Amino acid sequence: MRLRTCAAATLLLLLGTPAAAVAAPGQSDNLSRTATVTASTTSSWESVAAVNDGIDPSTSNDTVNRRWGTWPATGEQWVLLTWPTAQTLRSADVYFFDDNGGVRLPASWRLQYWTGSAYTDVAAANGYPVAANRYNEVTFNQVSTSRLRVVLQSGTASVGLLEVRTYATAIGTGTGTGWNPPAGLVTPLNQVWAHQEQTYPNLYGFRNYGWDQVFANGGSINYCVRWDSSAPVSAALRDRIHASLARQFKKWMDVMAGHNGWPYATVPVKVVGWAVRDRATLQWTDSSVDVYVNNIRENAPQCSEPCGRFFNQAGTYPNCPGGAAHHYDMSLWLTAGMGGGAGGDWGQRIGSEYYVGALDSDNIHILLHEMGHSFGLDDFYDWTPSGVGGFLMQAGSATRITDFDAWMLRDWWRHLKNRYGY
């Protein structure tokens, strides 16, 4: 459970029992280490063994560790990884050698695998970036093969490589062409992601982000309202609350529509239940939502736990009255007298008076901010990314989803999408 209380300080609680952790990529998962490496050609003073020696370079102009280079040869050059048995491969990171002289970045590159009778390009590669001083990542349709070739086309000089990491999974650093933010946001977005990786060791292992919930439902979200107030709620007010919640949620989901393979044009919100201390507080008599009375948890009314995603992260609800269709992914927890808010995988908590007073507002910014947390977005109380300022997730500095907020959301999709087969 991630809980962020959005006051002067960030409170993060990691509770619950997430599914087995998936490690971020690195040398420990690098399948290249067990391969034998050969090359089209190698300068006599260089070594092709560099590419799978497990040393992560700190610069493309590495003058300390061994390197693979082809000087003076140019044109198409390759390095071949050969394993004794077939490997499942899904992504790779490539670090180019560039000495600012006879060996420079390639004009282009691609990956080819051995089908048993020929080398063929991996399918659905998400892009082949060419950058110095960092790993260049590519993900592709899974292959099972005993041979993988990194094929470089030279540009202004000969070419070379310092390291080639290969993985069975597609979780990676993410530099594919499907991700195309404005140039000025690239650096701050990468800073944010690096900061999150550093701050949350289970970032990739956690399995209950809003993303996971949307996919578990096939493109929708169910809510239950925790009405932690004695103020009466008419049917009309209930319906306004439902409509407002859907409008605010839509603002985030509209950011994703059509972006980088995101499969849902809309993500409908359905409120399936309300929790209350006293049934008489709810003034409707119809049965359009489930009503849970006086089930007190955390000193507040709680919807049935057997129906809650937080308590059933396997996504099955065998003990939910009414069955899985009555489950809820998130709670909208409305607390009388509360200022500020909190958000996490369990939903959002804000003040009931604040929310009721803001129902017709275009941007209910505290709720929007807390929804951002439900999709993994972080707070910014103690630092600011380079070159940006005034955005929703930096509490108090904006009252709507800004471009930077939108791109932070999209950046989560960039890094998590392979989890869902994209």
Contact residues toward Zn ion (CB under 5 A) are 4, 6, 379
Measured from the CB atom, the residue of 4 and 327 that comes closer to Zn ion is 4
Which residue, among 375, 371, 363, 366, has the nearest Cα to 400 in the 3D structure? 363
Beta bridge partners of residue 91, listed in sequence order:
139, 167
Helix, coil or strand: residue 167:
strand
Which two three-digit tokens encode residue 128?
A: 């082949």
How far, in Å, CA of 421 to CA of 119, rounded?
24
Measured from the CB atom, the residue of 11 and 124 that comes closer to Zn ion is 11
Minimum distance of Zn ion from residue 2's CB (angstroms) = 11
CB under 8 Å to 344, separation ≥6 — which residues?
1, 2, 3, 4, 373, 374
Q: What is the CA radius of gyration of the chain?
A: 25
How far, in Å, CA of 273 to CA of 45, rounded?
71
Minimum distance of Zn ion from residue 249's CB (angstroms) = 17
Minimum distance of Zn ion from residue 381's CB (angstroms) = 8
Which residue, among 83, 97, 108, has the nearest Cα to 46 in the 3D structure? 97
Measured from the CB atom, the residue of 350 and 416 that comes closer to Zn ion is 350
Dihedral (CA of 305, 311, 314, 315) sign: positive
Measured from the CB atom, the residue of 327 and 349 that comes closer to Zn ion is 349
Number of C-beta neighbours around residue 161 at 10 A:
29
Minimum distance of Zn ion from residue 341's CB (angstroms) = 7
Measured from the CB atom, the residue of 57 and 372 that comes closer to Zn ion is 372
Beta bridge partners of residue 95, listed in sequence order:
163
- Cβ(29)–Cβ(54) below 8 Å: no
Minimum distance of Zn ion from residue 7's CB (angstroms) = 9
Which two three-digit tokens encode residue 81?
A: 């990884």
Helix (H) or strand (E) holding 152: strand 136-153
Measured from the CB atom, the residue of 78 and 354 that comes closer to Zn ion is 354
Measured from the CB atom, the residue of 6 and 111 that comes closer to Zn ion is 6
CB under 8 Å to 117, separation ≥6 — which residues?
none
Minimum distance of Zn ion from residue 369's CB (angstroms) = 5
Q: Please identify the residue of the shown chain whose CB is closest to the bound Zn ion.
A: 6
How far, in Å, CA of 65 to CA of 208, rounded?
41
How far, in Å, CA of 419 to CA of 404, rounded?
24
Which two three-digit tokens encode residue 249?
A: 């949620």
Which residue, among 171, 285, 189, 306, has the nearest Cα to 235 in the 3D structure? 285
Measured from the CB atom, the residue of 4 and 326 that comes closer to Zn ion is 4
Minimum distance of Zn ion from residue 393's CB (angstroms) = 7
Which two three-digit tokens encode residue 38?
A: 């050969």
How far, in Å, CA of 372 to CA of 298, rounded?
23
Measured from the CB atom, the residue of 6 and 143 that comes closer to Zn ion is 6
CA distances from 353 to 27, 73, 251, 310 (A): 52, 72, 22, 26
Minimum distance of Zn ion from residue 191's CB (angstroms) = 18
Measured from the CB atom, the residue of 11 and 325 that comes closer to Zn ion is 11
Minimum distance of Zn ion from residue 394's CB (angstroms) = 9
What percent of the chain is helix, strand and coil (3-state, nearest 5)?
A: 25, 25, 50
Measured from the CB atom, the residue of 320 and 342 that comes closer to Zn ion is 342
Minimum distance of Zn ion from residue 378's CB (angstroms) = 8
Minimum distance of Zn ion from residue 382's CB (angstroms) = 12
